[in-house]
Structure 1
Amino acid sequence: MKKITFSMRTIKGIFLFLLLTITLNLQAQNSDKAKALLDQVSAKVKSYENIAIDFRYSMSNSRQNLNQESKGSVTLKGNLYKLDFMGTTRIFDGKKVYNIVPEDEEISISKYDDQKSDDLTPAKMLTFFNSGYKYSWDILQNIKGRKIQYVKLNPLNAKDKTKEVLIGVDVQTKHIYNFIQTEKDGTKILITINSFKTNQPLSKNHFTFTESKYPNYYINRLD
């Protein structure tokens, strides 16, 4: 199997998924039902102090012989986050982004830059995602006894590499169940939530990088 890489395509897919999970205040273009459902999701998740998610990730493209699978976890509180995925820990403390790679014993530290495409936060993704898409009501599926209602999003820009995005919402809990992004080159990204916990007892340093914990690591300060 092809080695899994923590690419920008991967990061953007995850962050788009996180955006949909924690703040879905979207403006439906062509479906009041789609907007109403997403607004219910938004209202519910905004009431939480924090969210802890375990998820399953896959990216595939038969034309490119691409088949990647992995599991990950993320904790979010406002714009702060800690993501553990593909052997890498990524922390955003509100000012800086820390990428910790135990396999290489290397850490990169950079200041958050709102203009950089790879400096992503849920709020920044919300700004991106709130425009340029039309929304429509899609199919209802019964998955292991759970009713999952899908909302489809299609880019308005013909040059967008994304063909469509499907958001699966658990009808009973009003939580996101899964996220399916299909690109025009045939690449499909699927993220499914295995565990969704809220208002967890987090330590005050949960989103803090402590350099003393990594005495033998090479630290690359990018700015």
Structure 2
Amino acid sequence: MIKKHILFIALFASAVFSYGQGSDKAKALLDEVYNKVKSYKNIYIDFQSTIENTEADLKQDTNGNVTLSGEKYVLNYLGAQQLYDGKKVYTIVPENEEVTIEDVNEEDDNVSPSKMLTFYKTGHNYQWDIEQNVGGRKIQYVKLTPIDSNTEIKSILLGIDTQTKHIYKLIQTGNNGTKTTITVNSFKTDQPISGAMFTFNEKKYEDKGYYITRN
């Protein structure tokens, strides 16, 4: 579950887009987002995630946060923590007292935020969409539509704060009717963080009696 949703979360912090067809205005705005985000040493995002499917009578609201520095990240979401140290992915689930350690497959786009974003690098049309006023902030939406009709994704709306050039909201609509919305509550940059933040301490969890598996 964590791997699935970190894809959406990562878009806020590493908006790495290469564009298909669409409006020049949309491309220019996304370029500004990219350049702004890439200038930061690290990013901390506190967010709310909402998953809805009317037909399935599903609505789930979850809060989480993620800290990113280059390729590395620490994600706290759905009662678990996922850490990527640049080489391995560690998923820590306190409820189950379990840790899963996975090697990184360079061909796998579902490993780190930056790699997962390669999905968005090609194969999308994009267009200028609506503008909203949210608490005095102008949020401009850009719509991305997959060119491949066989994809599970119907469309993605990125809401961008026109002043800060930060992504405020992401709305993904699936072909199965499921809508995933991620809203940024707090976006902080260049925070003082410990170098050990992205280091997994295996002994710490062994001492706690956690079951550790390696895939």
* TM-score of the superposed pair, with normalisation by structure 2: 0.94
1:217: which partner in 2?
210
1:182: which partner in 2?
173
Q: Distance in 1 between matches of 2:160 and 2:15?
A: 13
Whether contact under 8 Å (1:15, 1:120) holds in the other structure is no
2:188: which partner in 1?
197
Q: Secondary structure at the match of 1:189?
A: strand
Q: Deviations over 1:107-151 (max 9, x none)?
A: 01111112346x422232232211111110000011121110000
Identity of aligned residues (%): 50
Displacement of 1:177 after TM fit?
A: 0.3
Q: Secondary structure at the match of 1:42?
A: helix
Q: Distance in 2 between matches of 1:120 and 1:97?
A: 7
Whether contact under 8 Å (1:28, 1:35) holds in the other structure is no
Count how many residue pairs are aligned between Structure 1 and Structure 2.
213
Counterpart check, 1:169 vs 2:160 = yes
Whether contact under 8 Å (1:54, 1:195) holds in the other structure is yes
2:82 to 71, 85, 90: 90
Displacement of 1:25 after TM fit?
A: 3.8
Q: Distance in 1 between matches of 2:65 and 2:170?
A: 15
Q: Distance in 1 between matches of 2:19 and 2:111?
A: 21
Q: Distance in 2 between matches of 1:109 and 1:103?
A: 17
Displacement of 1:100 after TM fit?
A: 0.2
Q: Secondary structure at the match of 1:94?
A: coil
1:65: which partner in 2?
57
1:121: which partner in 2?
112
Q: Distance in 1 between matches of 2:103 and 2:38?
A: 27
Q: Distance in 1 between matches of 2:108 and 2:84?
A: 14
Q: Secondary structure at the match of 2:49?
A: strand
2:131: which partner in 1?
140
Whether contact under 8 Å (1:16, 1:125) holds in the other structure is no
Corresponding letter in the other structure for 1:77: S
1:40 to 32, 48, 68: 32
Whether contact under 8 Å (1:50, 1:199) holds in the other structure is yes
Which deviates more from structure 2 when the two are superposed, residues 108-117 or residues 196-205? 108-117
Gaps of 5+ in 1: 1-6
Q: Distance in 2 between matches of 1:16 and 1:114?
A: 20
Q: Secondary structure at the match of 1:205?
A: helix
Counterpart check, 1:81 vs 2:73 = yes
Displacement of 1:185 after TM fit?
A: 1.1
Q: Secondary structure at the match of 2:31?
A: helix
2:103: which partner in 1?
111
Q: Distance in 1 between matches of 2:190 and 2:151?
A: 37
Runs of 4+ in 1 over 4 A off after TM superposition: none
CA-atom RMSD in angstroms: 1.4
Gaps of 5+ in 2: none
1:146-161 matches, cutoff 5 A: 146-161=137-152
Q: Distance in 2 between matches of 1:164 and 1:93?
A: 31
Displacement of 1:20 after TM fit?
A: 4.5
User: For residues 13 and 218 of structure 1, do their structure 2 counterparts lie closer, same or farther at Cα, with a shift above 3 Å needed?
Assistant: closer
Whether contact under 8 Å (1:179, 1:192) holds in the other structure is yes
